[in-house]
Structure 1
């Protein structure tokens, strides 16, 4: 490991950092919304199967690229290449992932800013600052600019400190807080009227729906998105892993934590929806579709919290602090991709690179805020619907078709001498070569 680059000091540090990258608003906000819109428990069942059968193999491909290359996404993929066209192709794929991460962070910072403002609102309400409370929960340009800027400053401050003192240290602090808050809120919601119906909808699948094409496509897309695939994030995190670590078990542990927290998030949000419905809040339309859709967190849940009386202020505070933490664990990983490229390819000092890249992304966020109706949805679609599946698919193509099988095995054996005889090695190369690219291509072309 190049000491100038830094790296994760422990196995736990990597697991929490990688899980933190994967666990974000996509899991705690997007997953429950997808679940409510796609058959409840049937969607959960399909998601869990696809996360391990398809997303995990693709996740392993990106980790392997990073640890083999010991560099940023572009350099790592070029080290795998043997010809000029392969190196050019590697640059397009690696740099495409970096651009994708920057685009995601540009709208992600706006969403995270909303979470921060909603987290402060209960405090201003208790203090009697009613006008401030109203401003914090209104869709105003000034509020969006201020809180997006604050969130980006927080992200830049962590990344500027490097891998061990920045990413790893804060992941070890934030992830236990996130899991603890999530479990406490689930326990509280479990005590409320209406929650039982929500738990039933979430945990009892209608098996007849699991083969619906739209449900399968949505679950597959969510599985890839939740693991941060196609953004260069896992390639750069893989480059910080010690050569002696067992990548197969590490990847499995991160995947398990990711889907577990997504499952816990659904265990909180879905019953909360039914509690709100029990209290008179409209959740579903006459045809059974979800009314609020992507705005579920900001439309339905505040209404639920308000109906709880004074205790609702504390529950709202806990929930939106949880959402802010989830956003931060992902944003630090998305900023690391472009920063590592600037540091290693252009010899820019880390703190300077972090500030410059962070400022550039904030400027992009500002442009989106100033043209919100035209750009917000467009940037989300470009990055998550089109960019991520395409880049993730090309990473699998690289590992399956361009990288030599003997080199892959050599890389894996550094952390596990017996991996050649494992079930993983008998299945994974074939999976990565044929099944994963095909599955991601289905998601991509369906989105078109």
Structure 2
């Protein structure tokens, strides 16, 4: 067992955790989820989910990590509950799963930065996306992105992750604020603000069964919950730090970045008469370039925008990779650089189908957000709320003066509101995957073949 690293500063931990949360979940996934589920109606449910579910849940993961001071799998055994190691393992697997297609999208972003410099996507953004998003070029870009992420993680917690994220997070904020200020000046931008910020409650009630799992799943995804990231990062945290303040800071900053991304995307779209309703990755990779192509400074704006997306993607990718590397470092006597390379190589191979066909990427994302993430968070909440309850309250109180009543209130919110909210989201998400009409749980390459031969859902 090697000596564990720690964060050099408290700010380093907060920036690293924010960097994990402020990733493609906010810049890539949030705009198209918002557009798909009714604009401001989705934003309203998402914000409620962050406050009532996301913040208490992030503290639950913090408790496990700092209490054990160990990786996300072995932490449960050290806390006296070895049978619960499967929860940590499932979280690590989920991060492994997500990073396999996350890296593919990161590769797309690299290509779009080059395209912004050359203006390659301005003529026909949809065709450009088709050439960038699939095939051998996408596979090569996927490999390059993974290589960068592996290189950062290989340098360790202080020299790699902490140093990188303390530069990345402020850069994301500065660049987003700059482009958001420019968006205000565009004629017609007010329609974009209205779409994004004026909720139609009827749109929520009419589509509640779909909006709830989508919003809760987005809250979990954007806060890096269910990947065991926050358990791993908290394992490097000292006992004198206030977990409550840290959790609120991370959740608040992350949510603010998500809203800021919407304040960039939707004014750009509406100002140029581009529909925001393009589902899936097209909301960023087709619709945004279509809007940028009509602006006199479109190339510069495109470069800045996709640079933001790249930085956000890398900040999250290194956190997902660190979860797996942390477990390997704690249990095997190999150098971190070697372990990071091995882990990155396996993740690259898992991402090959997503790089060759976007249908596979959509399947990986749908299974992760509707099944894996809420399942892991649900099990973590059960463990912290009912198995580790007394120790959890004591851990939340560490680094604070008093706070007994707040700690107990947090525990009961975990036991009730969070448990019910995540449980409902999990049930609705599984239903979305398992309905006879979609059979989405089946991989796209096998779905038609299986449905022709076996009655669904009897399979």
- In 2, Cα distance between the equivalents of 1:429 and 1:338? 28
Question: Cα deviations across residues 229-266 of structure 1 (Å, max 9, x unaligned)?
Answer: 11110000010111110111111110100111011011
2:266 aligned to 270, 273, 284, which one?
A: 270
1:108 aligned to 102, 125, 128, which one?
A: 102
Which structure 1 segments of 5+ residues have no match? 285-289
Check whether the contact 1:292–1:300 (CA below 8 A) recurs between aligned residues: no
2:335 alignment counterpart:
349
Question: Is 1:62 the equivalent of 2:61?
Answer: yes
Return 332-341 or 38-47, whichever deviates more: 38-47
Check whether the contact 1:292–1:299 (CA below 8 A) recurs between aligned residues: no
2:287 aligned to 300, 305, 308, which one?
A: 300
- In 2, Cα distance between the equivalents of 1:413 and 1:135? 50
User: SS of 1:138's equivalent?
Assistant: helix
1:41 alignment counterpart:
40
1:173 aligned to 167, 178, 181, which one?
A: 167
1:7 alignment counterpart:
6
Superposed displacement of residue 136, structure 1: 9.9
- In 2, Cα distance between the equivalents of 1:430 and 1:35? 31
Check whether the contact 2:108–2:132 (CA below 8 A) recurs between aligned residues: no
- In 2, Cα distance between the equivalents of 1:101 and 1:139? 22
Cα 1:135/1:94, change in 2 over 3 Å: closer
User: SS of 1:39's equivalent?
Assistant: coil
2:87 alignment counterpart:
93
Superposed displacement of residue 3, structure 1: 9.0
Return 215-224 or 230-239, whichever deviates more: 215-224
2:76 alignment counterpart:
77
1:409 aligned to 386, 393, 406, which one?
A: 393
Aligned length: 423
- In 2, Cα distance between the equivalents of 1:78 and 1:3? 18
1:439 aligned to 412, 418, 421, which one?
A: 421
Check whether the contact 2:381–2:414 (CA below 8 A) recurs between aligned residues: yes
1:419 alignment counterpart:
403
Check whether the contact 2:2–2:330 (CA below 8 A) recurs between aligned residues: no
- In 1, Cα distance between the equivalents of 2:116 and 2:334? 42
Return 409-418 or 226-235, whichever deviates more: 409-418
1:287 alignment counterpart:
none
Check whether the contact 1:276–1:300 (CA below 8 A) recurs between aligned residues: no
Which structure 2 segments of 5+ residues have no match? 431-459
Check whether the contact 1:136–1:143 (CA below 8 A) recurs between aligned residues: no
Cα 1:222/1:303, change in 2 over 3 Å: same
Question: Is 1:16 the equivalent of 2:2?
Answer: no
Superposed displacement of residue 182, structure 1: 0.5
Return 3-12 or 48-57, whichever deviates more: 3-12
Check whether the contact 1:413–1:420 (CA below 8 A) recurs between aligned residues: yes
Superposed displacement of residue 51, structure 1: 0.5
Cα 1:292/1:35, change in 2 over 3 Å: closer
1:192 alignment counterpart:
186
Check whether the contact 2:107–2:141 (CA below 8 A) recurs between aligned residues: yes
2:344 alignment counterpart:
358
2:365 alignment counterpart:
380
Check whether the contact 2:36–2:278 (CA below 8 A) recurs between aligned residues: no
Superposed displacement of residue 382, structure 1: 2.6
Check whether the contact 2:134–2:358 (CA below 8 A) recurs between aligned residues: no
1:244 alignment counterpart:
240
Question: Is 1:150 the equivalent of 2:144?
Answer: yes
Question: Is 1:53 the equivalent of 2:52?
Answer: yes
Question: Cα deviations across residues 73-116 of structure 1 (Å, max 9, x unaligned)?
Answer: 011122223xxxx412x221111111110110000000010011
Check whether the contact 1:118–1:136 (CA below 8 A) recurs between aligned residues: no
- In 2, Cα distance between the equivalents of 1:173 and 1:229? 23
- In 2, Cα distance between the equivalents of 1:438 and 1:389? 11
Check whether the contact 1:393–1:441 (CA below 8 A) recurs between aligned residues: yes
User: SS of 2:352's equivalent?
Assistant: helix
2:376 alignment counterpart:
391
Superposed displacement of residue 211, structure 1: 4.7
User: SS of 2:70's equivalent?
Assistant: coil
- In 1, Cα distance between the equivalents of 2:333 and 2:419? 34
Question: Cα deviations across residues 359-418 of structure 1 (Å, max 9, x unaligned)?
Answer: 111121224434x25632222223222111101110111101211x33223323331141
Superposed displacement of residue 138, structure 1: 3.4
Superposed displacement of residue 337, structure 1: 0.5
2:444 alignment counterpart:
none
Check whether the contact 1:117–1:136 (CA below 8 A) recurs between aligned residues: no
Q: So what's the TM-score if we normalise by structure 2?
A: 0.87
2:454 alignment counterpart:
none
Check whether the contact 2:217–2:369 (CA below 8 A) recurs between aligned residues: no
- In 1, Cα distance between the equivalents of 2:130 and 2:45? 38
